[in-house]
């Protein structure tokens, strides 16, 4: 039998291994991602140990019907918005990865949560490989950590961290960051995929074995992905991701994966001089600086997870002085913008050839659901025609290649949020109004009649909690982009 190779080359993106260096990973297609790693024998030896892959209590296969349902008593982080993204608090024994760019607030949020948990649920271990105890403490002073039983450990050696966990038996562990942790079993550098995966796996066993929730902080690589994302994402229970611009004070934490709650759930925060403060009404914040009666501004009713959020989509169309027109999207997908521009030219008769088009979701928000299409098109058309969309109108809807406006999910939720935020008119896909097809769920159980539309003689009085001033409230169902633009821009 051939001896196992002493060195292997490991793709830092997906963890795929090769005996020799490759320019491009055959598995995930990443370029220049192979790094030489050692310590294969140690890994093999560790894999031979019988307990390595055994989770505590997993004695053998058990009958589904004999397994009692465990009611996880969740631990609250003391920060509403953070609890919300986690699906209602921290699940004991869960492993959570919190990713984000440097300086966005990962350490701040976790230190705040750590202090709160220490106050209510018992000892917390905050292990940092990035800052000294003194640095953490001086930050903690700003965050008013106080006298809670919070243990700080400036350590990068995985085995030492595991020892401290066994000694302190904390209610919560935070490892900041997983890329600084290294295991003595491996000789490769901290941050390499082998080390990161080993750290995550060992911490997973600790979390499950001792029922201690563990948070891992993960760094974002240059191209915006978590370093070693594929390797970590399936190991952890929950992946949270910090979004936002460093120049803005607000931050968004999004659940990308959650075994214990809805994915794409959002938590919204504001960075203040005393740490991150939850923002209970994000729609209000995102619309705070909206210019009224300015062309190129459209209000979108989007839904993130279970939460409706109104955001402003802005567009600017201006004649290009140079040969090739530019199309820039921030906050929406660039490819989606190209597609929507083609639809606008072909189906709504707008001539955009030779124009620069800039689209931006205000406040640094990112929207990636198709329901945003209509608002993007409306904002662009509004800028082209130099005519403002009424300030009291909000909209949503997916747009197809034929220029048709398609129904979207959770229409009732979106409509209700618009009404609550004081909007008087909502432009939505006709399919979301028609009772026979996709009626907004909240409406379905109550009565068979459709939501009131503008063509409906009894247009007022939705009676669905759609707003206080029901007489002024108007829902306009549209079938095509043309209809939508007529409703908004005339
Ligand atoms: P930090 O949590 O250190 O970021 P990360 O761990 O994601 O790298 O956040 C640091 C930034 O937050 C820094 O620019 C200063 C700012 N900040 C405040 O504005 N207020 C505060 O109370 C704290 C602690 C930090
Ligand atoms: Mg940090």
Q: pLDDT tens across 334-357, in order?
A: 999 999 999 999 998 888 888 999
- pLDDT score for 459: 37
Would you state the pLDDT for residue 442?
41
Report residues near ion ligand 2: CB below 5 Å: 107
Look at residue 68 in the predicted model and tell me its pLDDT. Answer: 80
Position 294 scores a pLDDT of 92
The answer to whether 158 and 199 have CB atoms below 8 angstroms apart is yes
Residue 249 has pLDDT above 90, yes or no: no
Q: How confident is the model at residue 78 (pLDDT cuts 50, 70, 90)?
A: very high
User: Does the pLDDT at position 98 exceed 70?
Assistant: yes
185: pLDDT strictly greater than 80: yes
d(CA 392, CA 400): 26
> Separation of 271 CA from ligand 1 center, angstroms?
8
CA of 144 to the centre of ligand 2 (A): 18
pLDDT confidence bin for 4, thresholds 50/70/90? low
Residue nearest to atom 12 of ligand 1 (CA): 105
Residues 6+ apart with CB under 8 A from 484: 374, 377, 378, 395, 397, 405, 427, 478
- Selected residue with higher pLDDT from 72 and 305: 305
Q: Model confidence at 228, in pLDDT bands (50, 70, 90)?
A: low
The pLDDT of 81-96, averaged and rounded, is: 93
Q: 311 CA distance to ligand 2 centroid (A)? A: 29
pLDDT of residue 454: 41
Residue predicted with more confidence, 255 or 222:
255
**pLDDT band at residue 435 under the 50/70/90 scheme:** low
**pLDDT mean over 365-393:** 94
Return the residue matching tokens 């759930």: 265
What are 241's strand-pairing partners?
A: 99, 254
C-alpha distance from residue 359 to each of 339, 383, 394, 430 (Å): 13, 10, 17, 26
Before 177, cis peptide (omega within 30)?
A: yes
Using the 8-state DSSP alphabet, how is residue 196 labeled? H
* pLDDT at 243 (0 to 100): 82
Q: Which of residues 344 and 41 earns the better pLDDT score?
A: 344
The answer to whether 179 and 219 are in contact (CB under 8 A) is yes
Angstrom CA distances, 266 to 83, 241, 261, 280, 404, stand at: 10, 10, 11, 11, 30
Residues 6+ apart with CB under 8 A from 118: 124, 148, 149, 150, 171, 172
Which one of the ligands is nearest to 177 CA? 2
Of the two residues 24 and 243, the one the predictor is more confident about is: 24
**Residue 428 has what pLDDT?**
94
Compute CA distances 420 → 284, 325, 391, 424, 469, whole Å.
10, 40, 15, 10, 10
Give the residue whose CA is nearest to atom 5 of ligand 1: 103
Write down the pLDDT at residue 226.
Answer: 57
Residue 462 has pLDDT above 50, yes or no: no
> Per-residue confidence at 471, pLDDT binned at 50, 70, 90?
low
Predicted confidence band at 41 (pLDDT cuts at 50, 70, 90)?
Answer: low
- Non-local (6+) Cβ contacts of 9 within 8 A are 17, 18, 19, 20, 21, 22, 34, 35, 36, 37
Q: How far apart are CA 343 and CA 340, in angstroms?
A: 5
Which of 105, 132, 175, 220 maximizes ligand 1 atoms within 8 Å of its Cβ, making it the mutation to test the pocket?
105
Q: Over 90: is that where the pLDDT of 325 sits?
A: no
Confidence of residue 224 (pLDDT cuts 50, 70, 90): low
Q: Is the predicted pLDDT of residue 468 greater than 50, yes or no?
A: no
Q: How confident is the model at residue 9 (pLDDT cuts 50, 70, 90)?
A: confident
pLDDT at 439 over 80: no
pTM: 0.80
Q: Which residues pair with 399 in a beta bridge?
A: 405
**Residues 354, 356: Cα–Cα separation, whole Å:** 7
Q: Counting every residue, how long is the chain?
A: 490
Mean pLDDT score, 301-310:
91
Ligand minimally distant from the alpha carbon of residue 130: 2
More confident residue, 262 or 111: 111
The atom of ligand 1 lying closest to the CA of 177 is 6
What kind and span of H or E run contains 198? Answer: helix 193-210
Is pLDDT at 448 greater than 50 in this prediction? no
Going by C-beta distance under 8 Å and a sequence separation of 6 or more, which residues neighbour residue 224?
none
- Which range among 12-16, 296-300, 444-448, 483-487 shows the weakest confidence by mean pLDDT? 444-448
Residues contacting ligand 1 via CB (< 6 Å):
100, 102-108, 139, 142-143, 271, 273-275
**pLDDT for residue 269 is more than 50:** yes
Q: What is the pLDDT of residue 114?
A: 95
Q: What average pLDDT does the chain have? A: 84
Percent of the chain at pLDDT > 90 equals 53
pLDDT for 198 beyond 80: yes
Report which bound ligand comes closest to the CA of 106. Answer: 1
């Amino acid at each position: 039998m051939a001896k196992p190779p002493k060195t292997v080359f490991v793709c830092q993106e997906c963890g795929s291994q090769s005996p020799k260096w490759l320019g491009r990973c055959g598995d995930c297609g990443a370029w220049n991602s192979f790094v030489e790693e050692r310590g294969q024998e140690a890994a093999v030896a560790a894999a031979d140990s019988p307990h390595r892959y055994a989770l505590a209590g997993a004695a053998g296969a058990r009958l589904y019907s004999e397994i009692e349902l465990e009611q996880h008593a969740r631990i609250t982080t003391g920060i509403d918005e953070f609890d919300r993204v986690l699906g209602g608090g921290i699940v004991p024994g869960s492993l959570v990865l919190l990713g984000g760019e440097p300086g966005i607030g990962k350490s701040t949020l976790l230190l705040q949560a750590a202090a709160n948990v220490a106050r209510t649920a018992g000892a917390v271990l905050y292990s940092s490989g990035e800052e000294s105890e003194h640095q953490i403490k001086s930050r903690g002073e700003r965050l008013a950590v106080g006298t809670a039983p919070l243990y700080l450990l400036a350590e990068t050696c995985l085995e030492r961290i595991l020892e401290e966990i066994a000694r302190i038996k904390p209610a919560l562990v935070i490892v900041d960051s997983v890329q600084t942790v290294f295991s003595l079993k491996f000789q490769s550098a901290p941050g390499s995929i082998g080390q990161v995966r080993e750290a995550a796996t060992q911490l997973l066993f600790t979390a499950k074995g001792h029922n201690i929730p563990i948070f891992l902080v993960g760094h974002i690589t240059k191209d915006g992905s978590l370093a070693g994302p594929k390797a970590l994402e399936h190991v952890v229970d929950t992946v949270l991701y910090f979004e936002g611009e460093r120049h803005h004070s607000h931050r968004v934490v999004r659940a990308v994966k959650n075994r214990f709650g809805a994915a794409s759930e959002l938590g919204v925060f504001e960075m203040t001089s005393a740490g991150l403060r939850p923002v209970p009404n994000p729609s209000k914040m995102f619309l705070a600086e909206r210019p009224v009666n300015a062309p190129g501004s459209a209000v979108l009713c989007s839904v993130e997870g279970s939460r409706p959020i109104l955001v402003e989509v802005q567009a600017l169309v201006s004649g290009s002085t140079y040969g090739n027109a530019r199309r820039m999207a921030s906050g929406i997908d660039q490819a989606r913008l190209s597609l929507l521009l083609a639809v606008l030219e072909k189906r709504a008769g707008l001539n955009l050839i030779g124009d620069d088009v800039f689209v931006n979701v205000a406040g640094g928000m990112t929207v990636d659901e198709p329901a945003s299409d209509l608002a993007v098109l409306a904002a662009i058309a509004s800028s082209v025609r130099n005519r403002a969309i009424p300030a009291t109108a909000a909209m949503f809807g997916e747009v197809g290649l034929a220029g048709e406006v398609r129904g979207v999910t959770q229409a009732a939720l979106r409509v209700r949020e618009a009404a609550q935020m004081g909007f008087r008119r909502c432009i939505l896909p006709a399919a979301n109004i028609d009772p026979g097809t996709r009626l907004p769920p909240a409406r379905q159980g109550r009565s068979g009649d459709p939501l009131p539309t503008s063509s409906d003689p009894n247009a007022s009085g939705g009676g669905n909690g759609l707003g206080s001033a029901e007489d002024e409230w108007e829902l306009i169902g549209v079938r095509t982009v043309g209809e939508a633009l007529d409703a908004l821009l005339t």
